Amino acid sequence: MKSQASVTEYLVLVMMIVIIVLIAMLLIFGFQFFTVGSEQLKGRERMSLFLLESFISSTALNNLQYQKGSVFDDSKLTVASCEDLETLLGKGWFAEIMVLLDESVCYDQPAWKKNKCLRDLRKQASIVCTKQNYPFCNIWRFCEQNKGDRMIYRSIPVNVYRKMNNTLELGVITVGVQTGG
């Protein structure tokens, strides 16, 4: 009976040492797995910022009359394709440039005309640009097939040069990069 108690004590001691070693290994290697995931996320966030900067500074999409970037030429945006831009910027991203229309042009009109003006303006604001409906559109989307649920999105205000009426309008560019997970 005495020897059975010492064997039991020995087994309990060995089990405790094994549990402590397993917990220590989990703590040491577990943190590395967590930091790998966060480093990958940081890399994707940097990629989204790089993609945003690449769009803004791209001479393929910007109006060359303006020295500083972020003035997009609507005619260049209309003819640009996803394949062309993926050649320049890589794969696995989505971009959208949307012109923000000024609703204040409708405020000076009578109430019955004002509501119709606002409806027409909002309808026009949702039209995606193609070669057929240019310049009566306000949204350009690139690589829409890459758009997904798990993406990192970045948006900033930009200017859009409307070539047909020679005006600058306020817009927003949104880029998204796949998280890969």
Residue 82 lies inside a defined structural domain of this protein: yes
DSSP symbols for 22-78: HHHHHHHHHHHHHHHHHHHHHHHHHHHHHHHHHHHH-TTTB-TTSSSS-EEEHHHHH
CA of 9: how far to CAs of 17, 19, 77, 137, in Å? 12, 15, 77, 81
Model confidence pTM above 0.75 = no
pLDDT at 16: 93
pLDDT at 136: 81
Residue 171 lies inside a defined structural domain of this protein: yes
**Distance (Å, rounded) from C-alpha 145 to C-alpha 86?**
12
Residue 29 lies inside a defined structural domain of this protein: no
Residue 26 lies inside a defined structural domain of this protein: no
pLDDT at 69: 64
Residue 150 lies inside a defined structural domain of this protein: yes
Look up the domain containing 89 and give its range: 47-178
pLDDT at 17: 93
pLDDT at 118: 83
Residue 11 lies inside a defined structural domain of this protein: no
- The number of domains in the chain is 1
* Positions in the chain short of pLDDT 70: 1-3, 33-37, 68-69, 180-181
Residue 108 lies inside a defined structural domain of this protein: yes
Residue 117 lies inside a defined structural domain of this protein: yes
